[in-house]
Amino acid sequence: MDNSTSNPQNDEFYVGYLPIPKGYRKFINALLVTLFLWISAMSVIIVTTMRDPGYARWETGAAQQWTGTLVESPYPMLIPDDSTKPAIFVVSMGKLGAHERLAPFYDKHVTLSGYELNRDGRLLIELEDEESAIALESSVPTTRSQTPVHVDTIRLTGEIIDGKCYLGAMKPGDGVGHRSCAVLCIRGGLPPMFAAETPDGSKIYYLLMIDGSTNYSEESLGLVGRRVSLTAKHSTLLGLPILDSSNSQITLHEN
């Protein structure tokens, strides 16, 4: 009469192993519809607001061939015979460099078989695992100049990334989430690169040597995948921009 809780209609009680009372069923159905709409909304909102990893291709399918001269320094690269093309990094499959496999072929004319990774025209060849991936054409190198052209000393801000993931093997291949992977990649001999920020929001990619080497010390690895500012000697070699810095010239930004 005056107390609604003593009304038998409102005295429904839910027990899991008994049929669900009407009032509970109504409520749960409404709740499930709400939950459904909520999780669908969450899914759409999260996935549509993720940052765009940018243009980068990892060619798969049939292996491609490149002919040119292999050089060891500053990082194992192929200098294509076509003089309009820049030098191309050469690595193995997985998170491994190809230094040992390439060693007998430095300064020789070869044909490589593998897959191309490409971000904004910066190229990298992933060699096939077979021995036939490197074919000796001639022991005589081509004559394109191999001396780095020193440009100037510059100061840049950006992130140290690993060349393979960033050029297309993993997208996005930068940022905090990718940090431990980038460290693993660089330790495995992949090219350490610097993605420098520019005022218009685009990025310039350099090969980053620390103390003249792409084989990073433990201390240098601590800078990978983090936002840093650095002062470096800037040079170019066959269309490849190169930075040479040292740990003391690299400063971390917050976070």
Partner 1 sequence: MGLVSPDPFPWNNSHAPLVTDWIQIMSNAYRLVQWNKHKKVYDLTLIAFLLVYLTSFVGIGMLLFPSPEEISLPILLIRAFGTCSIILLHVILAIGPLARISSKFNPLLYNRRHLGVIFFFVALTHALLVFMFYGGFGVENPISAVLIGSYRSGGIPYEYFGFVSLLIFGVMAATSHDFWLKNLSPSFWKSMHMSVYIAYAFVIAHVVFGVIQSEKNLLYPVMISSGVVLIASLHLITGLREFRRDFRFKMSSTQSPWVEVCTVDEIEPNRAKIVQIDTNERIAIFKDGCTLSAISNVCAHQNGPLGEGKIVDGCVTCPWHGYQYNASNGQSPPPFTEKIPTYEIRIEGNRVMINPNANEPGTPVKPAEFNPIFNAKPSEYDG
Degrees, nearest 5: CA angle 100-104-106: 95
Which C-beta is closer to partner 1: that of 27 or that of 150? 27
Which C-beta is closer to partner 1: that of 85 or that of 227? 227
- Extract the tokens encoding 156: 């840049």
Residue type, 184: L
> How many angstroms separate the Cα of 102 from the Cα of each of 81, 98, 108?
18, 6, 10
Which C-beta is closer to partner 1: that of 37 or that of 103? 37
* Residue whose pair of structure tokens reads 């008994």 in the numeric block: 18
* Residue whose pair of structure tokens reads 């022991």 in the numeric block: 139
For residue 20, what is the DSSP state? P
Residues near partner 1, by CB under 8 A: 1-3, 5-6, 11, 13-18, 20, 23-24, 27-28, 31-32, 35-36, 39-40, 42-57, 94-96, 168-172, 174-185, 187-188, 218, 221-226, 252, 255
> How many angstroms separate the Cα of 155 from the Cα of each of 56, 122, 198, 203, 255?
26, 22, 12, 14, 20
Nearest approach in angstroms of CB 251 to partner 1 is 13
Nearest approach in angstroms of CB 72 to partner 1 is 20
Nearest approach in angstroms of CB 141 to partner 1 is 30
The SS3 assignment for 27 reads helix
Beta bridge partner(s), residue 78:
70, 88
Nearest approach in angstroms of CB 146 to partner 1 is 29
Which C-beta is closer to partner 1: that of 6 or that of 147? 6
> How many angstroms separate the Cα of 71 from the Cα of each of 36, 106, 121, 127, 172?
58, 5, 20, 15, 29
Which C-beta is closer to partner 1: that of 5 or that of 9? 5
Nearest approach in angstroms of CB 254 to partner 1 is 10
Nearest approach in angstroms of CB 195 to partner 1 is 13
Which C-beta is closer to partner 1: that of 17 or that of 84? 17
